[in-house]
Amino acid sequence: MTEESAKPAWEQLREVGPITAFFKTVWSVTSRPVEFFETLPSRGPVAVVLLFWSLTTLPPMIIAGIQANAFLEETISMMMTAPRPAYMEIPWWLLTIAAPLMQFLSLLTGLAAVHMLLQMMGYASGGWSGTYRAGGYASGPAVLGFVPLVGVPIAAIWVALLQFIALRRIHKVSRGILLLAYLLPVLLILFIGVAAVLIVLSIVAPDLLNLF
């Protein structure tokens, strides 16, 4: 297989066309992940991969943020017996912006943490570009986030599994080593994400924290 033929369809936009390239890449990642990441060149453009990640991940996350904001509003209204003061109103944009922003930061920082741990152990053979290319393309199933209720959790689990497969293939590392490097940053990012949400709520709507 030549280097040109090994390129994902998304990196052949001029030849394939953007719409066809997008859906072909999503299908290849989700249906044949092992084959896709075995042949994915570790060296190559990172910006176009982050664009692919943005198109698969951000739109569903924005919708999920809107739905979460509506759910939180309804839950708070049901919990309160008296009319809610104006200062306790949740800005509509809070979760709408926070959800995709946290997702983007978790991608950048999470993959960076995994890569640095692999590098310290001497297993980051695919380089920084390989890490971000693998992690970015693993977001293919994120389009399932458009499915109401179950879409986001299913997509999150699927993407996490594909990231594991992708990083293992791109760096030629054992499952045990990668699991060690993968889980520690995930737990750290989860802790930071929860702390960030609590900090934002304490600034924007501090009285909401008293309801929990």
**Per-residue tokens: 201:** 């709520």
Would you place residue 37 in the very low, low, confident or very high pLDDT band (cuts 50, 70, 90)?
Answer: very high
Number of C-beta neighbours around residue 18 at 10 A: 13
Determine the Cα–Cα distance for residues 107 and 34; give it in Å rounded to an integer: 21
Residue 35 lies in a domain: no
pTM: 0.74
Position 185 in a domain: yes
Which residues, 6+ apart, have CB-to-CB distance to 60 below 8 Å?
142, 143, 144, 145, 146, 151, 152, 155
Confidence band, pLDDT 50/70/90 cuts, at residue 2: very low
- The rounded distance, in Å, linking the Cα atoms of 78 and 5 is 57
- Tokens linked to 155: 């997509």
Residue 83's pLDDT is what?
59
Domain count, the chain: 1
Q: Give the pLDDT score at 181.
A: 86
- For residues 122-132, give the mean pLDDT: 91
Residue 5 lies in a domain: no
Within a domain: 17: no
CB atoms < 10 A from the CB of 165, how many? 18
Residue 68 lies in a domain: yes
Q: For residue 105, is it within any domain?
A: yes
CA–CA gap between residue 98 and residue 203 (Å, rounded): 14
Q: Check whether 164 has a pLDDT greater than 80.
A: yes
Q: State the residue range of the domain holding 151.
A: 43-211
Tell me if 84 is assigned to some domain.
Answer: yes
Distance CA 38, CA 212 (A): 47
pLDDT tops 60 at residue 82: no
The answer to whether residue 163 is domain-embedded is yes
List Cβ neighbours of 30 (8 Å cut-off, separation of 6 or more). Answer: 140, 141, 158, 162
Cα(113)–Cα(118) distance, rounded to whole angstroms? 9
Provide the pLDDT for residue 76: 66
